[in-house]
Amino acid sequence: MSGFRAPPRKGENFELAADLNSEYREKRKDAIKKVIANMTVQKDVSGLFPDVLKNLQTDDLEQKKLVYLYLMNYAKTQPELVILAVNTFVKDTDDPNPLVRALAIRTMGCLRAEKIIDYLCDPLQKCLKDDNPYVRKTAALCVAKLYDLKPELVIENGFLEQLQEMIADSNPMVVANTVAALTDIHIAAVAAGSTRDVFVITSSILNKLLIALNECSEWGRVAILNALARYESQDDRESEHICERVVPQFQHANASVVLAAIKVIMIHMRGIRSENLTKQLVRKMAPPLVTLLSNPPKCKLLSSEMRVFFCKYNDPLYVKVEKLDIMVRLAGESNVDALLSELKEYASEVDVDFVRKSIKAIGQTAIKIDEAAERYVVQEAVVVMKDIFRKYPSTYEGVIPTLCANLEELDEPEAKASLIWIIGEYSQKIDNADELLGIFVDSFTEESYPVQLQTLTAVVKLYLQKPDSSQGLVQRILNTATKDCDSPDVRDRAYIYWRLLSTDPGAAKAVVLAHRPPISLPRTTISPALLEELLGEISSLASVYQKPEETFVGRGRIGVDSMHRKGAEYLADDGLATQKALQTVAIGQQAENLLDLSDEGTDNGERQPSGLAATTILPSTTAAANLIAGTSSNPLDDLVSIFGNLNAGPPSAQPLNPLGGFGFGSAPMSPAPLVTPSALQPVTPMVSQQPQTPQQPEDDLLGLF
């Protein structure tokens, strides 16, 4: 028995330890299997480390693999003991069987124990020059593993240079893994802030990559294509050359190869001057994309054919939603009729969620295509609403009289909130608006917070438009809201209104009835900066989420900042248009963060500062006011306003939609963004980015009242 740790005197582990030290080979092997089985079901077998280690030296490949596996799992817990295994490892890297050599070098890279790393370099050096390509390809990746553990060692030993040379290897698989390793190191180096470019693709490397591309396995192709996407071509002839070589990959059966190829083409197409070729490329790109759609559901990209997106009845919901999103993006004058009739069909489907989204889509189409909106879409929407209305009495519709009659039947807070919003917005046109709102004011304290907030705003709007008839109502609601309400959010908003109303009704009007930011359908305008970035990310997670990488890999703040920087650059030369786009991103970002807070049930007081601060500066500049009206108040307003203006809104503007600014298409793919501390932070930079920075802490604001 080992002297390192007192082994248990009885129980399973004790028996196993005995078996591991048995003199019979078969018995020892069975014992190892049992140990691994226990490890698999997550029983702690780390105590057997020394006993298992003794079995490392064996000719039985399977047994060796098992012991290696055990080592990989427990090396970290027993760093002192791992050193005992080093000798065997080093010896194995000299084994006549390439399988054993590769296995040893692969496992050594996975042990991740400080002690063993120093012994890794020499064998690795040897394996990188091995005769057998199988060993070389394994060794190439091992360099990346080593870099992950101790970058200095890689640099000191000149492994990087060696990898660069290996790109010229005769074996395509080795080339592919070398590229993968170099890319991996490159990413790690950039993340660590290194300025040194680890993996520069020169034109000679480019040629080698293009040659290997046609010969290596499907996964190798993905790695090479990704590297090609990073290459910056010297002139348009080179771009053409790349595209020509990559285009055949569209015919590959592996979808990720196709996507990677599309990415390369998208990027290098920009370098091509000949219009003809570009057109040809785009034409070639469309069919594979459409085919991807009929394959197992996955991330989907743009394409010019719409009909394929018409939903299949049995598609999983997320695919349906994505498709809807794409359909709206593709909507144009020519296909709007077909689209609308299809949407109408969906609107009478069974799945409530999907129906809602279809209706939203109708609304969005309307906004996108002005002409259609006027004469056609609104009508369609009303018809659909009727269908819906028939089926779900709890929703409302755009026709106000009917809607008012249904007031009492509404039971979903979101729907209620949107309805109230409509009453508020059109209070001038609704004669008995004060009566209707009165009902809500009476039941104010029993309602949910979103409804309370909406009621509050609606009443104030009403007051501003019809001061005579509703003075009493305003008094009453402000009283209730400030005194009897337990949501700080509602209270604060009530205070603001109160204050605004009593000091300067004009300013109040400007704030509350502020012209909403022009509704340039957020979903169709992914900001150019973002689009640019996403292009480089096709098929990666970022494109699935439709967000820049930084926002979800745990560096939320950097992400926002870099967006700002990009925004600033754009501002310089492009002015308003891009600013708007940036704003959309910003709104989205903020909406996301704000909502995260409320989702988590964090103290709502926290989110208030941004809202309040933004509101206070409103009166000063109307331009700013316009923009901020969108950001400051509840993002719900924003969403609702999109539909409200249509006069036929959705049954509910989901306030939980985290990506108000990005367009909901991406929402289903990324339901819950980060709720780590880093997610909290962007709120602050967001506010400080506004033209006038109100640096009032929370207390000050409360002191105002």
Query: In the window 520-579, what residues touch another protein (CB under 8 A)?
Result: 537, 539-545, 549, 552-554
Per CB under 8 A, the list member of 8, 671, 691, 697 interacting with another protein is 671
Q: Which residues contact 361 (CB under 8 A, 6 or more apart)?
A: 324, 325, 327, 328, 343
Q: How far is the CB of 86 from another protein (least distance, A)?
A: 20
Q: Rounded to the nearest whole angstrom, what is the least distance from the CB of residue 207 to another protein in the complex?
A: 15
Q: Which of residues 288 and 682 has its CB atom nearest to another protein in the complex?
A: 288
- Please tell me the distance from the alpha carbon of residue 467 to that of residue 263, in angstroms, as a whole number: 59
Instruction: State which of residues 192, 350, 572, 623 lies at the interface with another protein (CB under 8 A).
Output: 350
The CA-to-CA distance between both ends of the chain, in Å, stands at 76
Helix, strand or coil, per DSSP, at residue 499: helix
* CB nearer another protein, residue 214 or residue 475: 214
Query: Cβ atoms within 10 A of the Cβ of 76, count?
Result: 13
Query: Least distance (Å) from another protein to the CB of residue 43?
Result: 13
Q: Which is nearer to another protein, 259 or 459 (CB)?
A: 259
Residue 519 touches another protein, criterion: CB under 8 A: no
Amino acid at 451: V
**Residue 518 within binding range of another protein, rule CB under 8 A:** no
CA dist 196 to 163, 177, 202, 411, Å?
16, 22, 15, 61
CB of 607 to another protein, least distance (A): 20
CA pair distance 367, 373, nearest whole angstrom: 6
Task: Give the SS3 label for residue 272.
Answer: coil
Q: Which of 542, 548, 514, 512 has the alpha carbon at shortest distance from 528?
A: 548
Half-sphere exposure of 275 (CA within 13 A, CB side): 0
Give yes or no for a contact between 272 and 239, defined as CB atoms under 8 angstroms apart: yes
* CB of residue 581 to another protein, shortest distance in Å: 22
In SS3 terms, 76-122 reads as CCCHHHHHHHHHHHHHHCCCCCHHHHHHHHHHHHHHCCHHHHHHHHH
Q: Is 180 in the site for another protein (CB under 8 A)?
A: yes
- Tell which positions 401-460 bind another protein, by CB under 8 A: 402
> Cβ of residue 145: shortest distance to another protein, in angstroms?
6
Distance between CA atoms of residues 310 and 306, nearest Å = 7
Q: Which of residues 121-160 bind another protein (CB under 8 A)?
A: 132-134, 137-138, 141-142, 144-145, 148
Our CB check for another protein shows the closer of 332 and 554 to be 554
Which residues are CB-neighbours of 443 under 8 A, at least 6 positions away? none
Judged by CB under 8 A, the residue of 672, 691, 698, 700 near another protein is 672
Please identify, using beta-carbon distances, which residue of 75 and 511 lies nearer to another protein.
75
Radius of gyration of the chain from its Cα atoms, rounded to whole angstroms? 32
Among positions 205, 260, 410, 511, the unique one binding another protein when judged by CB under 8 A: 260
Whole-number Å distance between alpha carbons of 638 and 636: 5
- Nearest to another protein of 312, 565 (CB atom): 312
- State in angstroms the smallest separation of the CB of 274 from another protein: 18
User: CB-wise, 278 or 540, nearer to another protein?
Assistant: 540
> Do 555 and 677 form a contact (C-beta atoms < 8 A)?
no
CB closer to another protein out of 493 and 566: 566
Interaction pattern, residues 453-492, with another protein; x per rule: CB under 8 A: ----------------------------------------
Size of the site for another protein (CB under 8 A): 120
Only segment of 16-24, 229-237, 347-355, 681-689 that touches another protein (CB under 8 A): 347-355
Query: Interface with another protein includes 178 (CB under 8 A)?
Result: no
Distance in angstroms (rounded) separating the CA atoms of residues 142 and 15: 37
Pick from 87, 251, 471, 693 the residue near another protein by CB under 8 A. Answer: 251
Residue matched to tokens 């709104």: 587
Report the alpha-carbon angle 185-189-194, nearest 5.
Answer: 150
As measured in angstroms, the least distance from the Cβ of 4 to another protein is 25
> Based on CB atoms, which residue is closest to another protein, 109 or 630?
109
Binding-site string for another protein from residue 195 to residue 234, where x marks contact by CB under 8 A and - marks none: -------------------xxxxxx--xx--x--------
The rounded distance, in Å, linking the Cα atoms of 200 and 288 is 31
Minimum distance from CB of 587 to another protein (Å)? 21
Position 147, amino acid: Y
Is 87:79 a contact under the CB 8 Å cutoff?
no
- Calculate the alpha carbon distances from 41 to 35, 52, 518 in Å: 10, 18, 58
Closest distance to another protein from the beta carbon of 555 (Å): 9
Residues 272 to 331 in contact with another protein, rule: CB under 8 A: 287-288, 290-291, 294, 296-299, 305, 307-308, 310, 312-314, 316-318, 321
CA distance 33 to 115: 27
In the set 673, 683, 687, 690, which binds another protein (CB under 8 A)?
A: 673
Q: Whole-angstrom Cα distance, residue 330 to residue 523?
A: 11
Of 383 and 702, the one with the shorter C-beta distance to another protein is 383
Judged by CB under 8 A, the chain residues 50 through 109 that form the site for another protein are 59-62, 65-66, 69, 72, 97-99, 102, 106, 109
Nearer to another protein, 466 or 552 (CB): 552
Contact assessment for residue 221 and residue 229, using Cβ atoms and an 8 Å cutoff: no
Q: What length does the chain have? A: 705
Q: Which is nearer to another protein, 205 or 319 (CB)?
A: 319
Between 225 and 511, name the residue whose CB sits nearer to another protein.
Answer: 225
How far from the centroid of its chain's Cα atoms is residue 194's Cα?
A: 26
- Nearest by Cα to 129 from 166, 173, 96, 177: 166
Binding to another protein (CB under 8 A) within 630-659 occurs at 656
CB of 273 to another protein, least distance (A): 22
HEC profile of 625-684: HHHHHHHHCCHHHHHHHHHHCCCCCCCCCCCCCCCCCCCHHHHHHCCCCCCCHHHHCCHH
CA distance 454 to 445: 13
Whole-Å CA distances, 500 to 333, 425, 455, 464, 505: 45, 19, 17, 12, 6
> Could you give the C-alpha distances from 682 to 208, 281, 317, 626, 686, in angstroms and in order?
44, 40, 31, 22, 6
Out of 399, 400, 507, 521, point to the residue binding another protein (CB under 8 A): 399
Task: Compute the least distance from the CB of residue 300 to another protein, in Å.
Answer: 11
Q: Does 376 bind another protein (CB under 8 A)?
A: no
Number of neighbours of residue 171 by Cβ within 10 angstroms: 18
Q: Which residues contact 200 (CB under 8 A, 6 or more apart)?
A: none
- Residue 260 contacts residue 221 (beta carbons within 8 Å): yes
Q: Which is nearer to another protein, 437 or 667 (CB)?
A: 667
Q: Which is nearer to another protein, 7 or 220 (CB)?
A: 220
Which of 529, 669, 680, 683 is close enough to bind another protein by CB under 8 A?
669
Residue from the set 84, 535, 675, 702 that interacts with another protein by CB under 8 A: 675
**Cβ-based nearer residue to another protein, 257 or 437:** 257
Site string for another protein, 30-59 (x = CB under 8 A): ---x--xx--x-x----------------x
Determine, following the binding rule CB under 8 A, whether residue 171 of this chain makes contact with another protein. Answer: yes
Q: How far is the CB of 608 from another protein (least distance, A)?
A: 25
